[in-house]
């Protein structure tokens, strides 16, 4: 009887799953495994990291879903094998113990993951076991969307147009699981899911729009979003309203299928759906950039900007992280991130621009902070977004386009609803001053119950002066 092992990673679902579908179609007995990789977990400084708890809940639901699939097809006791250790050791060891002929996994395009998978493939080859990797987390990967000259795109719009043309030509395949679910293997006696404590972690603080984990939560969020997607293009930039999908963590960990989401958006139609599909294409654009230009992890995409001289300003960086810059909407965004592991996309752009262009701090320090805290952290998207905001990346905003934090606040949180939620010191500030509380006189501050410079900081920098410094910084490089 031929057998295989499916290694789940960024694809924690039991439907429309390329690796699982291919393994079930080709083999008579299929085992499933997830590894809590200590090479990743041991680098996490916060032992209550939200991502570990989120993944564990996803894994628990996936285990139950596989058990139900198996039971519906007459298999008792199917489920997910879970290991805690180095994946490049655990996967070959388990493959040998099970005696499988092949290991299937969906491709991961991050540089460290590529190295890890190379080690696993080499170890399996020495055992005579095949390693089969599949495209699953994107619609089009690596070099599937290229210029007519066969080179990678560096501008988004022509990439998007080529992406859409290829989609029209090829459509969206699906990878069904149910037809061969009777081939799922029962778990061996003694297999069980670890607890957070057994993994060396503690429960994270409650709260945040991305807290609900797993396929069912992803499906509920998708249903809710598609009911309002017609207004997405109008509402997506306003952090105080429910305008975005909140599916970013589910896309990151694969509890939803990107193919299914694109298919559903195109069937729905309309401007909101079109604009949202563009956001999904941005995700693939940045993954393509990382694949072809891995140097962007440590360097500017535009090499001339590696000569930029950033300020050494640890106090300014610390104030930015703490949400105490004196600019209310910037601070609200940073506090949302610290308290929930999530930040609205408009605020990701604003806070990144503020750190790099108002405070003059190297974008890589901000990128690292987001990487430490974001529940939906995606290496390619985070890097691409930061380099876009800092004007060092591909198809980035021009260096002379510098977000005015006051104007952004007035435009995208006009009534101060979001600010008051995350900056409670300003809850009593009237709408007239909510975006610029430092303009209140002493009497107005007393009436609002806040003292600027004491309860809430005065602005760290003057935006006009900071803008002039940024223009000079880039001008020195551009000559």
Provide the annotated active-site residues: 279, 282, 310, 345, 363, 386
**How many contiguous H segments (helices) and E segments (strands) does the chain have?**
21, 5
Backbone dihedral angles phi then psi of residue 119, each to the nearest 5 degrees: -65, -45
φ, ψ of residue 234 in degrees (nearest 5): -90, -30
Rounded Cα–Cα distance for residues 399 and 468 (Å)? 12
Termini Cα distance of the chain? 69
CA 368, CA 381: separation in Å to the nearest integer? 13
Q: What are phi and psi of 115, to 5 degrees?
A: -65, -45
Question: What are 353's two structure tokens?
Answer: 């621009």
Q: Which residues are annotated as a binding site for FAD?
A: 232, 276, 279-286, 376-378
HSE at residue 261, side-chain half, CA atoms within 13 A, is 30
Nearby residues of 215 by Cβ (< 8 Å), 6 or more positions away: 12, 13, 14, 15, 58, 61, 62, 65, 255, 256
| Two structure tokens written together for 201 | 């972690």
Give Cα separations from 17 to 12, 108, 176, 178 (angstroms). 9, 14, 7, 11
Query: How distant, in Å, are the alpha carbons of 98, 129, 156, 467 from that of 4?
Result: 9, 9, 39, 58
d(CA 351, CA 227): 30
Question: What residues are designated binding site?
Answer: 232, 276, 279-286, 376-378
Looking at the DSSP bridge assignments, the partners of residue 8 are 34
Q: What is the CA radius of gyration of the chain?
A: 24
CB atoms within 10 A of CB 197: 9
Q: Is 7 helix (H, G, I), strand (E, B) or coil?
A: strand
Angle at 194 between CA 191 and CA 198, to 5 degrees: 135
For residue 388, report the phi and psi dihedrals to the nearest 5 degrees: -65, -50
**8 A C-beta contact, residue 177 and residue 17:** yes
User: Of how many residues is the chain composed?
Assistant: 479
Asked if 260 and 360 count as a contact pair (C-beta separation under 8 A), the reply is no
């Amino acid at each position: 009887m031929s057998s295989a092992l499916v290694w789940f990673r960024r694809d924690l679902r039991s439907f429309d799953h390329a690796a699982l579908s291919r393994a079930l179609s080709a083999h008579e007995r299929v085992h499933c495994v997830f590894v809590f990789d200590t090479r990743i977990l041991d680098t996490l400084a916060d032992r209550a990291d939200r991502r570990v708890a989120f993944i564990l809940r996803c894994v628990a639901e996936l285990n139950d879903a596989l058990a139900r699939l198996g039971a519906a097809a007459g298999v008792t006791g199917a489920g997910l094998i879970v290991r805690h250790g180095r994946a490049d050791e655990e996967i070959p060891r388990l493959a040998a113990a099970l005696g499988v002929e092949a290991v299937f996994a969906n491709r991961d395009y991050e540089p460290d993951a590529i190295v890890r998978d190379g080690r696993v493939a080499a170890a399996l080859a020495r055992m005579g076991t095949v390693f089969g990797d599949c495209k699953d987390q994107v619609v089009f990967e690596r070099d599937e969307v290229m210029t007519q000259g066969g080179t990678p795109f560096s501008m988004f719009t022509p990439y998007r147009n080529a992406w859409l043309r290829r989609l029209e030509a090829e459509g969206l395949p699906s990878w069904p699981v149910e037809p061969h679910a009777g081939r799922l293997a029962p778990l061996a006696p003694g297999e069980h899911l670890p607890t957070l404590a057994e993994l060396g972690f503690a429960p994270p603080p409650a709260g945040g729009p991305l807290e609900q984990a797993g396929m069912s939560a992803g499906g509920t969020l998708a249903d809710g979003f598609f009911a309002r997607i017609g207004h997405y293009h109008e509402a997506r930039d306003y952090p105080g309203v429910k305008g975005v999908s909140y599916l970013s963590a589910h896309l990151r960990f694969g509890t939803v299928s990107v193919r299914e989401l694109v298919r559903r958006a195109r069937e729905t139609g309309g401007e909101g759906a079109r604009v949202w599909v563009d956001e999904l294409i941005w995700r693939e654009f940045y993954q393509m950039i990382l694949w072809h230009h891995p140097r962007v992890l440590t360097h500017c995409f535009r090499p001339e900007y590696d000569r930029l001289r950033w300020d050494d300003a640890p106090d300014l960086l610390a104030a930015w992280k703490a949400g105490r810059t004196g600019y209310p909407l910037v601070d609200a965004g940073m506090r949302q991130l610290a308290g929930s592991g999530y930040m609205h996309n408009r605020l990701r752009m604003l806070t990144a621009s503020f750190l790099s262009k108002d405070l003059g701090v190297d974008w890589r320090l901000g990128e690292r902070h987001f990487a430490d805290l974001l529940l939906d952290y995606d290496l390619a998207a985070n890097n691409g977004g930061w380099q876009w905001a800092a004007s060092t990346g591909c198809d980035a905003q021009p260096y002379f386009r510098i977000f005015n934090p006051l104007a952004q606040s007035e435009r995208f949180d006009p009534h101060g609803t979001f600010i008051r939620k995350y900056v409670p010191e300003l809850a009593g500030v009237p709408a007239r001053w909510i975006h610029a509380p430092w303009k209140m006189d002493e009497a107005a501050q007393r009436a609002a119950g806040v003292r600027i410079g004491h309860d809430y900081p005065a602005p760290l920098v003057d935006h006009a002066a900071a803008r002039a410094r940024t223009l000079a910084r880039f001008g020195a490089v551009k000559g």
